[in-house]
Structure 1
Amino acid sequence: MGTVHAKEGQAASHLPKADINYEECQETKQLPLTVPARVDRIHVEGLGRTKNDIVESVVKDIFTAETFEDVLFKTHKARMKLDQLNLFRNIAVHIDISRGRKATPDGLEVTFQVKELRRLVGGVTTEIGNNNEGSLVVGLKAPNMAGRGERVQADYSYGSKCTNNFNVAFIKPLIGGRNPVLSASVYQRHSEWPTSGFKLRERGLVLDFGINSFPLVKHNFQYDASIRDLGVFSRNSSFDIREESGATLKSALRHILSSDLRDEAIFPTCGSLFQFTTELAGLGGNVGFVKNELYLQSNYSIIDDFVLQTTMAAGLMKSISDDKQISVCDMFHLGGPLSLRGFKSRGIGPKSGEDALGSLCYFSGGLHLYTPLPFRPGRGGFGELFRTHLFVNYGNVADPNKDEPIVDQLRNNMRVSSGVGVAVRLGQMARVEVNYCFPLRSEQDDRVNPGVQFGIGVQFI
């Protein structure tokens, strides 16, 4: 086993001045990747307040490499793990032959050159939410406070739909082989929902423990306690919304299981995404329910840049006690450019007057074809931000309290829409869709939206 030198120092002049990229080396086959090799020493240069033990726990697996290919792969993997710790603003990696009295015949030395983040980092950014809204975010972060990745961050955001959020969080990555992370945050959120006739203010605390059971399977265990104040949006809000107005206390446990195997998040060409959320509310307070929600996405590359995508989402919730309520802000809502195109936001499901009340069960799915723009303008450059989009959407809502089976309720009177449009990438954080929609099947009390529909978000059905 070699040694790790995790101290600040000067880079050796003979080291190659290029970052190691494992994928590029595999593609070009310019290096003898299968020749025997071992790592004698690992140097980590540029450390200041970062403690040695957290760096050593990440890079020590490189010593188990037996070939040059293993060295490249495990070095690349260690670099990604270091980046995930949010300790450094720049990480460079160099590999050279081992020198010195303790050098072995096939020995190598790996050098990580890092630049730590400043003690206080702030900025103004934009953020896209999953409710067809963009937000301006002002943030302040104190990274690596005690030298092992601990950080405190505060964020304030103001959204295009008059929502505003304030959040203060403490995040602590733990040393371990499954990437454990512990966090605690306090928050205040204000949101307005004119299609349901209410506005909501929440103040609460979230404790979260995240861990990987497998390299690409992540679990988040959360406790969420919040005081919610629900008020009427306007004088036209319905009686059912007025009856629910007032303060409620929610205390809930939540488990989020997710696995993302896609090659990228915005315009994936292959791979799948799985996310299953279970929430139990009612450990205290006057809100109580069991809520399960599933989201699936699969992508298949047909021919060059032609991608077929299937999506599916479903949710089911039930009350756990007659003494505890389910609020309109807890219910599932269907309709809109992110869930069921061709219908207005929250346009499907039970209503009181003009206000959408939400449902206890829903199902929604889609079949999509993404292609390059006709004639490929801007190929290899600006044109790669755009995709032509053809789709078919379908979905329905159900009430588990009815005598009719849920499957029959969802199958009967299924809403269907189709359309064509253009999707635009917004960096690596979200996308914009402009579609021309054709509602094919709807009910009399649905709010349909034929014609042009605009959507912006992260996760679309």
Structure 2
Amino acid sequence: MAYQDSDGEVFAALNRDIDPKVLEEREKAVQERVQAQYAKAQQRLQDLISSNSTLPVTISSIRVIGATNTRKSFLDRLFAPILSANNDRPYTLQEALQLAGKSADKLRRFDIYHEGVSMFIDKPDSTDPLSTTSDIDIFLAVKEKGRIALKTGTDLGNTEGSAYGNLLLRNIFGGAESLSINASAGTRTRSSYTATFDTPILSDPDIRFSLDGFASSTQKQWASHEEVLKGGNARIRWAEGQSRHEVAYTGAWRQITALAANASPSVRNDAGDSVKSSITHTWFKERRNHPFLPTSGYFMRTVSELAGWGPLQGDVAFWKSEVETSGAIAIPLPGKEDSGISLTGGLRAGLLCPLPIGTGSEPQASRINDRFQLGGPTDVRGFKIGGLGPRDGPDSVGGDVFAAGSVNLLFPFPRVGKDTPLRLQVFANGGRLLALQQTKGSTSNSVTSTIAKLAEGLPSLAAGVGIVYAHPAARFELNFSLPLVLRRGEEGRKGLQFGVGINFLNLWANGNVLVVLTTIFGKYSTWICQIFDGNEEREERNTAATMASAIISNLTNPLITDHPYYPIEVEIASYLANEWSVPVLLAAFSGVCATVLLTAQIVVDKLHPNLRTVEKVTIWWFILSGCIHLFFEGYFSVNHTLMGPKQDLFGQLWKEYSLSDSRYLTSDPFVLCMETITAFLWGPLCFIIAGLITTSHPLRHPLQIIVSTGQIYGCILYYATSMFDHYYKGVVYSRPEFLYFWCYYFLMNFFWIMIPSTLVVSSVNQIANAFRSLDAISAKATKGKKGQ
């Protein structure tokens, strides 16, 4: 009996549910032990590399595994210079590792392989009579990207929005060549088509040659016309230390057309066709620590263009030069060095000097489509687009000489912190834009007198305050601006001004700027064990560990830990498991939603007690959607880079939902852009619609259609991008369990297709009925008049 009682207690203990907090504590302890062992192994390997860094080795071969579509001659030209057979002396171990790392980095920068180039080191076959004890073979394992990529989407930037489609053909001839075909339509650029062929020169990713063909049609409302462009260019780009150069030849047919009825004589005089043939040189140097929110460093850029002179021909001729510089410094506070406060400033200046066409002697006056424009939310804030400088009637006709500057003081957003991309800013900016003065004598005298006039009097000035959000793809600004100094005819913009772009007056970012990228060779050092065999086993094992340590020491990413998300190999920085259980998280979220709905019901009943039930339900929907969009999804948009270790309510809720879509923990560009638009556009509009329903305002239905359509479109794209990656790339973001895929991923998002679809149909019917009634009244009134 004693044994039976003991067995029963054991089985009862085994069947008893374990407290989830206990399980979490155990998992946390296991992770801490793993991390401690990893840190200890890293330290040991660091000690080994310091004692073996001068070990002589010879690189006998470098082989790339997985490069099935890449030409052997292309790879040979890349690796041949570092093989020991082509060098007079052997390498030290440290030199060999550095050279191998640079080679792997070059492979990555060709953009034909996936991130995560793995490097393996081995000894040659011991039976090879030509091998020596110091020989090593280097293997680089790569995974080629798909040779065809198709992408569609929307862009917001530089004061316009657009939709685009892009077809990219990679590695066309096996030498990292690419062909990109792009088509877009936008609010200002009515249509744009480009085709670009790009290839590296001599297997060097830092020296590239490209051919472009383009055609576009752009509305320029500030100058009452539309500009049509067709042409092509040839470019060569190269790096020189930390500087970047580009030389390009461009041939373009331009047409100023579609003039407005009130277009000025200056615009009408330049209307019609022109041909530009020019050579351009661009140089820039980027030393800032962040392209959109810098706190230190500087940036410089120059652009010089020569058109129509000498053999270039065409029917426009000029020398055009632009210089830009910006810098940033951190502002420490007493007792707090890293306060998050920074002071940024920028200066820009430009000059357009007319030249004779070809070998002629008379300079040609500049045209409106070659002159500088100044003003706008991403340029000189507080002024309309093209609001500064010479005008002719309603049109901004541009200028030949300009100078502009800006000073910004940025503060961390209150109660958010300095590590987020949100900032408050106080700014002052200004500038002057002048047409070339007509003086007696040579063109140089006109240029000199015009430049001197820049210093006469105060520049046009504006100041203001605003909010800055540094999205990974662009910088968003919402400013309240106040023009302080305006000249006659210039157009200021007092009040709110919204700007989205990568090119702000005090902040310039180029698509070719090299960012800090790290080649990841492995997660742990254990994958490189037992590489060597032979008599000197101990020394060779130390060498292998040394090589692994050198590779691992180059990693700059945060610690990557184990996690339950799919795909299993996805890397989530500084991940920590949730502290709260799933029932507690769902109960807290449900409680918040219930509180929001109850508050909405109380307010609506007080303001409009006789409102129909269906309208009340619609109000509840928009209030709940607004809260989820603005606060919950807005939280993700602001903290997307910090989601892994978050332990507050919203952070843990996002990590729970991410079991159905891990893109939320990896700053996926599409998800981030979609959630940002949803949070800061649809979120506030949901509250506005709820108010319009409560007051029976007629604008309710048009806005209801717009917001509901946006919600439907966002959800369809959300499903479509995930399905595309699943079926085309074989990448799965959701765990396979029913709860995560069907409940979290499918059902919770499907609500924002089903309910908005019902609301769109309802609003369309209401608007149709209103017009039907209006038509009936109009017909009755017309019939009555005829009867009289």
| Short-chain TM bin | 0.7 to 0.9
Report the Cα offset of residue 265 of structure 1. Answer: 1.9
For the 8 Å contact 1:393–1:417, the answer to whether it is kept is yes
Residues 155-188 of structure 1, C-alpha deviations (whole Å, 9 max, x = no match): 0012232432101111121116682211111110
Superposed counterparts of 1:236-255, under 5 Å: 236-255=262-281
Superposed counterparts of 1:160-199, under 5 Å: 160-175=187-202, 179-199=206-226
The yes-or-no answer on 1:309 pairing with 2:353 is: no
Tell me what 1:416 maps to. 461
The yes-or-no answer on 1:353 pairing with 2:393 is: yes
Residues 40-78 of structure 1, C-alpha deviations (whole Å, 9 max, x = no match): 353321111101333344456666895665555544433
Tell me what 2:153 maps to. 125
> What SS does the corresponding residue of 2:454 show, helix, strand or coil?
helix
For the 8 Å contact 1:413–1:442, the answer to whether it is kept is no
Question: Bigger CA drift: 401-410 or 440-449?
Answer: 401-410
> Is the alpha carbon distance of 1:145 and 1:259 closer, same or farther for their aligned partners in structure 2, counting shifts above 3 Å?
same
The whole-number CA distance in structure 1 between the counterparts of 2:501 and 2:377 is: 9
Task: List runs of 5+ in structure 2 lacking aligned partners.
Answer: 1-41, 85-89, 333-337, 357-361, 440-447, 506-788
> What SS does the corresponding residue of 2:181 show, helix, strand or coil?
strand
Report the Cα offset of residue 80 of structure 1. Answer: 3.2
Report the Cα offset of residue 302 of structure 1. Answer: 3.0
Report the Cα offset of residue 30 of structure 1. Answer: 7.6
For the 8 Å contact 1:188–1:203, the answer to whether it is kept is yes
Instruction: Using structure 2 for the length normalisation, give the TM-score.
Output: 0.51
For the 8 Å contact 2:75–2:203, the answer to whether it is kept is no
The whole-number CA distance in structure 2 between the counterparts of 1:107 and 1:324 is: 68
> What SS does the corresponding residue of 2:73 show, helix, strand or coil?
helix
The whole-number CA distance in structure 2 between the counterparts of 1:30 and 1:370 is: 43
Tell me what 1:51 maps to. 71
- Counterpart amino acid of 1:80? D
Report the Cα offset of residue 248 of structure 1. Answer: 0.9
The yes-or-no answer on 1:36 pairing with 2:54 is: yes
> Is the alpha carbon distance of 1:149 and 1:332 closer, same or farther for their aligned partners in structure 2, counting shifts above 3 Å?
same
The whole-number CA distance in structure 2 between the counterparts of 1:355 and 1:72 is: 62
The whole-number CA distance in structure 2 between the counterparts of 1:280 and 1:178 is: 28
The yes-or-no answer on 1:332 pairing with 2:367 is: no
Residues 297-343 of structure 1, C-alpha deviations (whole Å, 9 max, x = no match): 22223342322222111100011024645221111011111221111
The yes-or-no answer on 1:446 pairing with 2:446 is: no
Tell me what 2:143 maps to. 115
The whole-number CA distance in structure 1 between the counterparts of 2:258 and 2:150 is: 36
> Is the alpha carbon distance of 1:45 and 1:347 closer, same or farther for their aligned partners in structure 2, counting shifts above 3 Å?
same
Tell me what 2:625 maps to. none
- Counterpart amino acid of 1:253? I
Residues 109-168 of structure 1, C-alpha deviations (whole Å, 9 max, x = no match): 543221112232211133454x32232221111111111111211100122324321011
The whole-number CA distance in structure 1 between the counterparts of 2:264 and 2:378 is: 26
For the 8 Å contact 2:354–2:363, the answer to whether it is kept is no
For the 8 Å contact 1:232–1:245, the answer to whether it is kept is no
- Counterpart amino acid of 1:182? F
Report the Cα offset of residue 371 of structure 1. Answer: 2.8
Tell me what 1:289 maps to. 318
Report the Cα offset of residue 290 of structure 1. Answer: 0.8
Superposed counterparts of 1:184-263, under 5 Å: 184-212=211-239, 214-263=240-289
Question: Bigger CA drift: 189-198 or 233-242?
Answer: 233-242
> What SS does the corresponding residue of 1:242 show, helix, strand or coil?
helix
The whole-number CA distance in structure 2 between the counterparts of 1:30 and 1:306 is: 39
Whose helix fraction is larger, Structure 1's or Structure 2's?
2
Tell me what 2:181 maps to. 154
Tell me what 2:107 maps to. 82
> What SS does the corresponding residue of 1:455 show, helix, strand or coil?
strand
For the 8 Å contact 1:165–1:189, the answer to whether it is kept is yes
The whole-number CA distance in structure 2 between the counterparts of 1:312 and 1:193 is: 25
For the 8 Å contact 1:134–1:160, the answer to whether it is kept is yes
Whose strand fraction is larger, Structure 1's or Structure 2's?
1
Tell me what 1:18 maps to. none
For the 8 Å contact 1:286–1:325, the answer to whether it is kept is no
For the 8 Å contact 1:61–1:74, the answer to whether it is kept is no
Residues 386-433 of structure 1, C-alpha deviations (whole Å, 9 max, x = no match): 222222212112334355734432122311222221111232x31111
The whole-number CA distance in structure 1 between the counterparts of 2:79 and 2:221 is: 52
Superposed counterparts of 1:269-284, under 5 Å: 269-282=295-308, 283-284=312-313
The whole-number CA distance in structure 2 between the counterparts of 1:110 and 1:308 is: 47
> Is the alpha carbon distance of 1:54 and 1:453 closer, same or farther for their aligned partners in structure 2, counting shifts above 3 Å?
same
> What SS does the corresponding residue of 2:437 show, helix, strand or coil?
coil
For the 8 Å contact 2:319–2:352, the answer to whether it is kept is yes
> Is the alpha carbon distance of 1:426 and 1:146 closer, same or farther for their aligned partners in structure 2, counting shifts above 3 Å?
same
Superposed counterparts of 1:396-435, under 5 Å: 396-402=432-438, 405-411=449-455, 412-427=457-472, 429-435=473-479
The whole-number CA distance in structure 2 between the counterparts of 1:68 and 1:414 is: 60
The whole-number CA distance in structure 2 between the counterparts of 1:367 and 1:107 is: 58
The yes-or-no answer on 1:343 pairing with 2:343 is: no
The yes-or-no answer on 1:395 pairing with 2:438 is: no
The whole-number CA distance in structure 2 between the counterparts of 1:49 and 1:308 is: 49
> What SS does the corresponding residue of 2:104 show, helix, strand or coil?
helix
The whole-number CA distance in structure 2 between the counterparts of 1:357 and 1:218 is: 33
For the 8 Å contact 1:207–1:222, the answer to whether it is kept is yes
For the 8 Å contact 1:33–1:69, the answer to whether it is kept is no
> What SS does the corresponding residue of 1:405 show, helix, strand or coil?
helix
The whole-number CA distance in structure 2 between the counterparts of 1:78 and 1:268 is: 30
> Is the alpha carbon distance of 1:337 and 1:77 closer, same or farther for their aligned partners in structure 2, counting shifts above 3 Å?
farther
Report the Cα offset of residue 79 of structure 1. Answer: 3.3
Report the Cα offset of residue 92 of structure 1. Answer: 2.0
> What SS does the corresponding residue of 1:413 show, helix, strand or coil?
coil
- Counterpart amino acid of 1:219? H
> What SS does the corresponding residue of 1:88 show, helix, strand or coil?
coil
- Counterpart amino acid of 2:452? D
> Is the alpha carbon distance of 1:33 and 1:52 closer, same or farther for their aligned partners in structure 2, counting shifts above 3 Å?
farther
RMSD: 2.8
The whole-number CA distance in structure 2 between the counterparts of 1:60 and 1:452 is: 59
> Is the alpha carbon distance of 1:432 and 1:62 closer, same or farther for their aligned partners in structure 2, counting shifts above 3 Å?
farther
> Is the alpha carbon distance of 1:181 and 1:433 closer, same or farther for their aligned partners in structure 2, counting shifts above 3 Å?
same
> Is the alpha carbon distance of 1:68 and 1:186 closer, same or farther for their aligned partners in structure 2, counting shifts above 3 Å?
same
The whole-number CA distance in structure 1 between the counterparts of 2:248 and 2:156 is: 23
The whole-number CA distance in structure 2 between the counterparts of 1:95 and 1:390 is: 52
Question: Bigger CA drift: 264-273 or 165-174?
Answer: 264-273
> What SS does the corresponding residue of 2:102 show, helix, strand or coil?
helix
> Is the alpha carbon distance of 1:162 and 1:152 closer, same or farther for their aligned partners in structure 2, counting shifts above 3 Å?
closer
> Is the alpha carbon distance of 1:177 and 1:171 closer, same or farther for their aligned partners in structure 2, counting shifts above 3 Å?
closer
For the 8 Å contact 1:186–1:206, the answer to whether it is kept is yes
